Amino acid sequence: MFIFLERQKRDLLYELIRSSFKLRYNDSILGFIWVILKPLLNFLVLYIIFSNFKADLGTGVDTFQIYLLTGIIFYGYFSESLLTGMNSLLGMAHIILKVKFPKELAVMSSQGLALINFLITFTILIIVSLFNNISPNLLSIVYLLYQIFLLSVFCYSLTIWFSVLTIRFRDLRNIFEILLQLGFYLSPIFYSVDFIPESYRGIYMLNPITIIMQSARTALISGNIINLKSSAILLLVSILMIVVGSRFFKKQVQKVTEYY
**What pLDDT band is residue 50 in, cutting at 50, 70 and 90?**
confident
What number is the average pLDDT over the span 40-48? 89
DSSP 26: T
Instruction: Count the alpha carbons within 13 Å of 91 in the hemisphere toward its beta carbon.
Output: 20
Residue 54, pLDDT > 60, answer yes
Instruction: Give the pLDDT score at 49.
Output: 85
Cβ count within 10 A of residue 22: 11
CA atoms within 13 A on the CB side of 49: 9
**pLDDT average, residue stretch 234-257:** 89
Q: In the chain, pLDDT over 70 holds for what percent of residues? A: 87
Q: 88: buried, middle or exposed (CB in 10 Å: 19+, 13-18, 0-12)?
A: buried
Q: Which of 20-34, 102-116, 134-148 has the lowest mean pLDDT?
A: 20-34
CA 159 to chain centre: 11
What distance in Å separates the CA atoms of residue 189 and residue 22, rounded to the nearest whole number? 31
For the chain, what is the mean pLDDT? 86
Q: Cβ distance 73 to 209 under 8 Å?
A: no
At 21 the pLDDT is 75
Q: Is the pLDDT of residue 90 over 90?
A: no
What would the DSSP string read from start to end of 197-247? -HHHHHHHTT-HHHHHHHHHHHHHHT-----HHHHHHHHHHHHHHHHHHHH
Does a structural domain hold residue 212? Answer: yes
Assess whether pLDDT exceeds 80 at residue 256.
Answer: no
Cβ within 8 Å of residue 190, ≥6 positions away: 46, 50, 57, 59, 67, 68, 71
Distance CA 87, CA 173 (A): 8
| Residue 58 pLDDT > 60 | no
The per-residue pLDDT for 28 is 63
Per-residue pLDDT averaged across 122-143, rounded?
91
Residue range 109-114: mean pLDDT, rounded: 92
Lowest mean pLDDT among 51-55, 118-122, 206-210: 51-55
Q: Is residue 4 part of a domain?
A: no
**Integer CA distances (angstroms), 134 to 128, 163, 182, in order:** 11, 39, 30
Cα distance between residue 85 and residue 14, in whole Å: 16
Does some domain include residue 224?
A: yes
Model confidence at 63, pLDDT cuts 50, 70, 90, reads: confident
Nearest to 165 by CA among 87, 105, 81: 87
Over 60: is that where the pLDDT of 3 sits? no
Residue 259 has pLDDT above 90, yes or no: no
Degrees to nearest 5, angle at CA 240 with 149 and 158: 65
In a domain, 245, yes or no: yes
What pLDDT digit, counting tens, does each position of 146-193 carry?
Answer: 999 999 999 999 999 999 999 888 889 899 999 999 999 999 998 888
CB 254 within 8 A of CB 90: no
pLDDT over 70 at 61, yes or no: no
3-state secondary structure of 69: helix
Which structural domain range is residue 165 located in?
12-258
Return d(Cα 154, Cα 177) in angstroms, integer.
18
pLDDT for res 64: 85
- In this predicted structure, the answer to whether residue 220 has a pLDDT above a threshold of 90 is yes
**Residue 7 within any structural domain of the chain:** no
Domain-embedded: residue 66: yes
pLDDT at 198 over 90: no
Nearest Cα residue to 114 out of 71, 49, 159, 166: 159
Which pLDDT does position 229 carry in this prediction?
A: 95
Query: CA nearest 35: which of 112, 122, 127, 120?
Result: 120
Q: pTM, whole model, 2 decimals?
A: 0.90
Q: What's the number of domains the chain is made of?
A: 1
| Residue 193: per-residue pLDDT | 87
